């Protein structure tokens, strides 16, 4: 099932032309929270994007970013400390390109308002992930789903658009599943996750709940795992995404790990592969052509480990600068065909980093892209 490779990034034409710039100016919505901080951190030295606006709740608006933000990882970039926080209001935010780290309680109204106002919203929120006309994109897998943005804009009458990335544990699971599904036809999947506390944001999981403990429950997580995977591995069918027809059953658990979600999988396929065939497919896969040379794309979306006891979140979480998923323990299954373990960074690959890579494949480099846009506009 070869995927079409668009030669022109699909969304760049939506960014208005005007003054030239070397980097796309972007805003972060929900910039003070855990995911917002990860956007800020990953975009601090980004070659294509420059964070020029930070927006958050009314409570924080008008204050300095450093004043209202309890920085979680390392040290806040100096360039952002004194930036005034804007309200999450499309009239207050000038950037056309917007990364949304909003809570789902806020995203449901704010993101459509931004999209209606012509903004391109690359969202980490769950609210629109499962809407049939909203692309749910893991770039190496289904970047071509971006094509339904046109249908989305027509149907909703938006000048802009919403593009979503997947839930963090879904993202980690999806990367090894994609090439295996393509090669062998996934039919059944048991997934048991062991998820890091950073997946719950900040303050998130109280330490009294998780020190020396496991919590075998994450609210609303299992349904997400079971349905988002079907959409990501589905295909564009006219104006909507048709889900892939496999069945997933999930057990989601919280463990005392800072970063890195780990997923144990038992998998059944239509064409029952051997362990060696699975390893070969995983080792050779490089993901969609769309991600070639993208700044945030790892050299390999999947790293296969030979060690008997890997992947491990603490040791493998930074593979590919946090954008690769490490896969190991590929072995036969007694009930289905194959067992394996995957682990990846939940706040980089599974959240902000994935969303940034979505924007990269959708927009292209600012010089080329915007030049093309400008040229086209002039020609028009």
Q: Which residues bind a second copy (CB under 8 A)?
A: 34, 72-75, 188, 190, 192, 194, 197-198, 202-217, 226, 247-249, 251, 253, 255-258, 262, 264, 266, 308-316, 318-319, 328-329, 333-336, 339, 341, 343
| Least CB distance to a second copy at residue 151 (A) | 29
| Least CB distance to a second copy at residue 318 (A) | 7
Distance, in Å, from the CA atom of 197 to the CA atom of 79, rounded to the nearest integer, reads 28
- Of the residues 46, 181, 243, 261, only one is catalytic, namely 261
Place of tokens 């393509």: 182
Distance, in Å, from the CA atom of 171 to the CA atom of 274, rounded to the nearest integer, reads 24
DSSP string, 50-97: EEEEEEE-TTTTTSBHHHH----SS---HHHHTPBPEES-TTT---SE
Using the minimum distance from each CB to a second copy, give the nearer residue, 308 or 380: 308
| Least CB distance to a second copy at residue 364 (A) | 31
| Least CB distance to a second copy at residue 96 (A) | 33
Using the minimum distance from each CB to a second copy, give the nearer residue, 24 or 39: 39
| Least CB distance to a second copy at residue 326 (A) | 9
Q: What is the 3-state secondary structure (H, E, C) of 95-135?
A: CCEEEECCCHHHHHHHHHHHHHCCCEEEECCCCCCCCCCCC
Q: Name the token pair of 46.
A: 């980004």
Distance, in Å, from the CA atom of 360 to the CA atom of 365, rounded to the nearest integer, reads 7
264 is catalytic: no
| Least CB distance to a second copy at residue 229 (A) | 12
Using the minimum distance from each CB to a second copy, give the nearer residue, 349 or 370: 349
Using the minimum distance from each CB to a second copy, give the nearer residue, 39 or 48: 39
Is the alpha carbon torsion for 306, 308, 311, 314 positive or negative?
A: negative
Using the minimum distance from each CB to a second copy, give the nearer residue, 89 or 202: 202
Task: Note whether 169 and 221 are within 8 A (CB).
Answer: yes
| Least CB distance to a second copy at residue 283 (A) | 15
Task: Note whether 161 and 137 are within 8 A (CB).
Answer: no
Q: Name the token pair of 261.
A: 């979600």
181 is catalytic: no
Pairing of strands 325-332, 302-304: parallel
Using the minimum distance from each CB to a second copy, give the nearer residue, 162 or 189: 189
Q: How many CA atoms lie within 13 A of 101 on its CB side?
A: 31
- Of the residues 88, 145, 168, 370, only one is catalytic, namely 168
Using the minimum distance from each CB to a second copy, give the nearer residue, 95 or 266: 266
Distance, in Å, from the CA atom of 209 to the CA atom of 187, rounded to the nearest integer, reads 36
Q: What is the DSSP letter of 3?
A: P
User: How remote is the C-alpha of 188 from its chain's centroid?
Assistant: 24
Looking at the annotation, which residues are catalytic? 168, 261
């Amino acid at each position: 099932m070869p995927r079409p490779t668009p030669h022109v990034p699909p969304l760049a034409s939506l960014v208005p032309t005007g003054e030239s710039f070397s980097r796309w100016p972007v805003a972060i919505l929900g910039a003070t929270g855990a995911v917002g901080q990860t956007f800020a951190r990953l975009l601090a030295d980004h070659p294509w994007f420059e964070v020029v606006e930070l927006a958050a709740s009314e409570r924080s608006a008008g204050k300095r970013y450093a004043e209202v933000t309890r920085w979680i990882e390392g040290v806040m970039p100096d360039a952002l400390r004194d930036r005034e926080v804007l309200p999450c209001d499309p009239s207050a935010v000038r950037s056309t390109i917007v990364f949304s780290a909003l809570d789902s309680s806020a995203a449901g109204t704010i993101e459509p308002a931004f999209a209606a106002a012509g903004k391109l919203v690359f969202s980490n929120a769950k609210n629109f992930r499962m809407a049939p006309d909203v692309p749910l994109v893991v770039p190496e897998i289904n970047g071509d789903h971006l094509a339904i943005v046109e249908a989305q804009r027509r149907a909703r009458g938006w000048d802009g658009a919403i593009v979503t990335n997947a839930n963090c544990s879904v993202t980690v699971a999806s990367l090894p599943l994609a090439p295996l599904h393509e090669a062998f036809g996934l039919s059944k999947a048991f997934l048991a996750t062991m998820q890091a506390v950073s997946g719950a944001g900040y303050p998130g999981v109280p330490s009294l709940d998780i020190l020396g403990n496991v919590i075998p429950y994450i609210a609303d997580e299992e349904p997400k795992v079971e349905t988002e995977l079907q959409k990501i591995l589905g295909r564009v069918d006219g104006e909507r995404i048709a889900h892939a027809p496999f069945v997933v059953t999930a057990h989601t658990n919280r463990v005392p790990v800072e970063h890195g979600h780990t997923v144990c999988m038992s998998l059944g396929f239509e064409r029952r592969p051997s362990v060696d065939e699975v390893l070969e497919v995983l080792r050779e896969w490089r993901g969609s052509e769309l991600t070639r040379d993208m700044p945030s794309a790892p050299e390999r979306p999947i790293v296969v480990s030979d060690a008997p006891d890997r992947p491990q979140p603490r040791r493998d979480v930074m593979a590919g600068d946090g954008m690769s998923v490490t896969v190991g323990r590929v072995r036969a299954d007694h009930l289905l065909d194959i067992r394996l373990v995957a682990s990846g960074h939940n706040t980089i690959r599974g959240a902000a980093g994935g969303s940034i890579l979505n924007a990269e494949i959708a927009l292209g480099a600012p010089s080329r892209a915007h030049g093309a846009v400008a040229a086209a506009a002039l020609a028009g």
